Amino acid sequence: MSAMDGLAGVREKRSSRRSGPNGMDRRAYGFLLLAVLLSFWELSSRAGWIVSAYWPPVSHIFAAAIAQLAGGEILLALASTLRRAAIGYIAASVAGIVLGIVLARNRVLRYGLLPLIEIVRPMPTPAVIPPLILFLGVDDALKIFIVALASFFPIFSNTFTGVAAIDDTLIQTARTFRTSTVRLLARVVFPATLPAIAAGLRTATSLCLVVAVLSEMIAGSSGIGYYLVETQYAMRPDLMYAAVLYLAATGYALNRIFLALEARMVPWMGRS
């Protein structure tokens, strides 16, 4: 399991152990804190506690966000970021799941490829952007590649350790039914690893958006990352913050969608 999927789980566990506020109340508390912080922001700007052109009242930011929506520009930027993130994510998922399963099950390939993967993994993704620009240019190919590279590792690692953790009894059961290797991988190993794969996919879900934005900030001509840098140069903090707001909402929505899909795809998670 990765560290990223813990937040919701921790909250659930606590609530079941203690007799605390129920679901609705809990959510209300969270939003209350959010409202207090936002009011504090609004106040700090309007009352002049922080005097800065880069600290507009939060109400201005919301107004800017709505105006952006009307212009359509922000949605286009968001769409192009999401497109890159999605392509990279899907490529990383296929590669990560296939390699994770194959390497965990095949000793020769494992000995051959694992050292390479272990060397590349600790490299911070942004560090490889400048050298990669030389080969892939500054267009989509670069950004999609970077997204795929960053998303690959959590998916691969979770799949790999997930396969290794399958109980031998399960594999031997399939073997005594004379299951072919291909069928064993597709019908036993893959589904048995799905909970671990889902954990990796979830980590990659938030990561792919982060990296897509980052790559657009470094080498961009479109997308939310580029928009952020552009509005910063243009001294339009209200537009900049509003874009961040949209990004946060997108990240939140992606995670919710993922959780809903996970609950449908892996209903036995944590049950066996």
Partner 1 sequence: MSQRLGFDRVTKVFEGSGNDADFVAFDDITLEAAPSEFLAVVGPSGCGKSTLLRMAAGLTDPTRGKVVLDGKPVREPPPGVIYLFQQYAKSLFAWRTVIDNVMFPVEGAPRARRGELRAQCRDYLRQVGLDGFEDKYPWQLSGGMQQRVAIARALAADPQVLLLDEPFSAVDALTRMELQTLMLQLWERRKFTAILVTHDVEEAIFLADRVAVLGARPTSLKEVIDVGLPRPRDQLTTREDPRFLKLRHHITASLLARNDGHVASA
Q: What's phi and psi for 222, nearest 5 deg?
A: -160, 175
Based on the shown chain and the rule CB under 8 A, indicate whether residue 267 belongs to the binding site for partner 1: yes
Rg (C-alpha) for the chain, rounded Å, is 22
Q: Which of 39, 172, 181, 221 binds partner 1 (CB under 8 A)?
A: 172
Residues 176-235 that bind partner 1 (CB under 8 A): 176-178, 183, 187-188, 191-192, 194
Query: Looking at beta carbons only, is 48 or 267 nearer to partner 1?
Result: 267
Report the SS3 class of residue 44. helix
- How far, in Å, CA of 88 to CA of 145, rounded? 6
In the complex, the smallest distance separating the C-beta of residue 272 from partner 1, rounded to whole angstroms, is 3
Based on the shown chain and the rule CB under 8 A, indicate whether residue 170 belongs to the binding site for partner 1: yes
Query: Looking at beta carbons only, is 179 or 250 nearer to partner 1?
Result: 179
In the complex, the smallest distance separating the C-beta of residue 203 from partner 1, rounded to whole angstroms, is 22
Query: Looking at beta carbons only, is 38 or 166 nearer to partner 1?
Result: 166
Q: Which stretch binds partner 1 (CB under 8 A): 7-15, 85-93, 107-115, 262-270?
A: 262-270
End-to-end CA, the chain: 15
Q: Which of 11, 13, 175, 256 binds partner 1 (CB under 8 A)?
A: 175
In the complex, the smallest distance separating the C-beta of residue 174 from partner 1, rounded to whole angstroms, is 8
Report the SS3 class of residue 45. helix
Q: Name the nearest CA neighbour of 150 among 63, 92, 106, 218.
A: 92
CB atoms within 10 A of CB 80: 22
Report the SS3 class of residue 222. coil
Query: Looking at beta carbons only, is 34 or 165 nearer to partner 1?
Result: 165
- The length of the chain is 272
**Torsion angle defined by CA atoms of residues 131, 137, 141 and 143, in that order, rounded to the nearest 10 degrees:** 60
CA distances from 148 to 66, 161, 191, 248 (A): 32, 20, 23, 21
Based on the shown chain and the rule CB under 8 A, indicate whether residue 167 belongs to the binding site for partner 1: yes
Based on the shown chain and the rule CB under 8 A, indicate whether residue 1 belongs to the binding site for partner 1: no
Query: Looking at beta carbons only, is 198 or 242 nearer to partner 1?
Result: 198
In this structure, what DSSP letter does residue 185 have?
Answer: I
In the complex, the smallest distance separating the C-beta of residue 194 from partner 1, rounded to whole angstroms, is 7
In the complex, the smallest distance separating the C-beta of residue 267 from partner 1, rounded to whole angstroms, is 8
Query: Looking at beta carbons only, is 63 or 269 nearer to partner 1?
Result: 269
Q: Which stretch binds partner 1 (CB under 8 A): 3-11, 52-60, 244-252, 264-272?
A: 264-272
CB 212 within 8 A of CB 85: yes
Computed from CA positions of residues 189, 191, 192, 195, in that sequence, does the dihedral angle turn out positive or negative?
positive
Query: Which spans of this chain sit near partner 1 (rule: CB under 8 A)?
Result: 167, 169-170, 172-178, 183, 187-188, 191-192, 194, 266-268, 271-272
